[in-house]
Amino acid sequence: MKFRKNLSRFTSYFLLIFSLFIFLYVFYRSEIIFNGSRNYNLYYALSIALIILSTISFFIKIKIEHLIASIILIFGFYSMELYLIYKKEYLDIKILKNKIEIYEKKNNQKFDIRTKKKIYKDIKNKNKNLSVTESWKFFLRFNDTNIFPLSGVSNVETINCNENGFYSTYLSDRYGFNNIDTVWESKKVDYLLVGDSFVHGSCVNRPFDIASQIMRLSNNQKNVISLGYAGNGPLAEYATLKEYFPEAEVKNVLWFYYEGNDLNDLDYEKKINFFLQYLKFDNHIQDLKNKNKKLKLDQYIQSKIDEVYLSFNFSRFIKLSSLRETIIPKKLDFLKNKDINVSSSTKVTNENLNLLKKVFYKAYKFSEDNNANFYIIILPDIDRYLSKNKKKYSINEVKAIARDLNIKFIDIDLEVFDKEINPKDLFPFKMEGHYNIKGYKKISDSIYNFIK
């Protein structure tokens, strides 16, 4: 009896000490590492809840075997989950510190460590005409109407992203894209760009994005329009092409395919009937050109920003997401996709490749019907230069599709990155992310020289 009582108290003491350790670690990260610049309220709430529960355990009487078994099981699972979360954040902090040291030494300026929500709220107090980039996924999550936007807020200063030590920003055009607004008044557009965040200009300012670079090369400030937006996959890009195709005469449509996640995005988008309507019906559009301002996107973003930019994803924690992703090998998913010899993490399956081919064909025909040439620009992912396993990439399959459809394409890996002594020099701090200024410039030069 005495042994059970001592064991019960030992268990309670252990839980209390662990809970206090979690609380102190949260305080250390929040107040010492980040100087209170990041929101750790949920971390504090969880650690305090653990302290309260462990304190209560001193006073409740439960059959000791059941108590210990339950506590050990639950405690063990969630301890591992917290460990994996903190491990990832520790590595992120280590990388961030390295970036800060490089950036501040090179530029003699402070690296902006604020979160997107923090900088938004800081500037919003001074400038009400402000927004942040949010993909269609954000509005799909919160929008209770039958209309979903494919761009951002119109005619506002827009905060994009930070991979180079500063947040890139731009003044959006009348439809919410990263363009000078007057380009929509042009009677002739030589280059219409369609793509995701790389075409959007993440994470550089004008005039270093691809659209601005091509304008510079062609010595014309009104002959390029970018329909690129972060988070878009092939189906969203096709929908954007149909919704926002200019009334002006378009000479060339440049479709950017990013090997890093376009097939993943397609795998997600194909499950959304909203996008399939664009593919199924040639005349289907939402008429977003006329409805964009009526959607009140800025109000949606402002009201939901606290829900989106959480410092702690409680839902993932409860579901033990990090633990499950670590324990369950990706190879198990791969066994379900035996139709092609590549990693399932990139969703390169015959089903997705066939759907991608259909999207390319539809976009090609749409461009052709509007008397425009159509090109596919294939962008490489930095993992290609970090890993020796190139089987997981889809460039060869995409080039095969383009050849089969008789579509001209540019393989940026061959035309640009393969010619570099160190291809990682074209990425921010030689690390994972979008391209840096040098990378965007070389890609733009290659595209312009190929098409001109």
Q: Shortest CA distance to 30 belongs to which of 46, 51, 12?
A: 46
Q: Give, in order, the Cα–Cα distances in Å from 414 to each of 208, 419, 425.
A: 22, 7, 16
Strand runs (DSSP E) across 343-422, as ranges?
A: 373-379, 408-411
Task: Please give the angle made by the CA atoms of 206, 208 and 211, to the nearest 5 degrees.
Answer: 80
- Give me the CATH code for the 116-311+349-451 domain, please: 3.40.50.1110
Partnered with residue 225 across adjacent β-strands are: 192
Separation CA 422–CA 347 (nearest Å): 28
Cα–Cα distance for residue pair 132/160, rounded to 1 Å: 6
Q: How far apart are CA 275 and CA 234, in angstroms?
A: 10
**Cβ atoms of 148 and 136 closer than 8 Å:** yes
Distance CA 24, CA 411 (A): 51
- What span, in angstroms and rounded, lies between the C-alpha atoms of 136 and 138? 5
- Return per-residue pLDDT of the chain as tens, 452 residues: 554 555 566 667 777 787 788 788 778 767 776 566 556 676 777 778 778 877 776 766 555 555 566 666 666 777 777 777 777 777 777 888 889 999 999 999 999 999 888 898 888 888 888 999 988 887 776 655 566 889 999 999 999 999 999 999 999 999 999 999 999 999 999 999 999 999 999 999 999 999 999 999 999 888 999 999 999 999 999 999 999 999 999 999 999 999 999 999 999 999 888 899 999 999 999 999 988 766 677 766 766 665 555 555 655 666 677 777 777 654 444 334 434 333 344 678 899 999 999 999 999 999 999 999 999 999 999 988 987 655 556 789 999 999 999 999 999 999 999 999 999 999 999 999 999 999 999 999 999 999 98
Residue 191, helix vs strand vs coil: strand
The pLDDT of residue 43 is 72
Amino acid (one-letter) located at 260: G
Q: What is the pLDDT of residue 17?
A: 81
In this structure, are residues 412 and 400 in contact, taking their beta carbons and an 8 Å threshold? no
Write out the H or E segment, with its range, that includes residue 133: none
Rounded to two decimals, the pTM is 0.79
Which residue in the block uniquely carries the two structure tokens 């827009």?
158
Cβ 168 vs Cβ 112: under 8 Å: no
For 270, the enclosing helix (H) or strand (E) is: none
Contact partners, residue 117, CB within 8 Å, separation at least 6: 39, 305, 306, 308, 309
pLDDT computed for residue 334 by the predictor: 37
Q: CA 339 → CA 179, 306, 343, 359, distances in Å?
A: 41, 42, 11, 20
pLDDT of amino acid 259: 94
* Distance, CA of 330 to CA of 58 (rounded, Å): 42
CA–CA distance, 374 with 365 (Å, rounded to integer): 9
Instruction: Give me the pLDDT at residue 260, please.
Output: 92
The residue type of 26 is V
Instruction: Pick left, alpha or beta for residue 328 (phi over 0 → left; psi -120 to 50 → alpha; otherwise beta).
Output: beta
Distance from the first to the final alpha carbon of the chain: 88
Give the strand pairing for 169-171 and 157-159: antiparallel
Q: In this structure, are residues 266 and 354 in contact, taking their beta carbons and an 8 Å threshold?
A: no
Q: What is the largest CA-CA distance in the chain?
A: 90
137-to-146, 232, 256, 442 alpha-carbon distances in Å = 14, 9, 20, 31
Q: So what's the pLDDT on residue 38?
A: 57
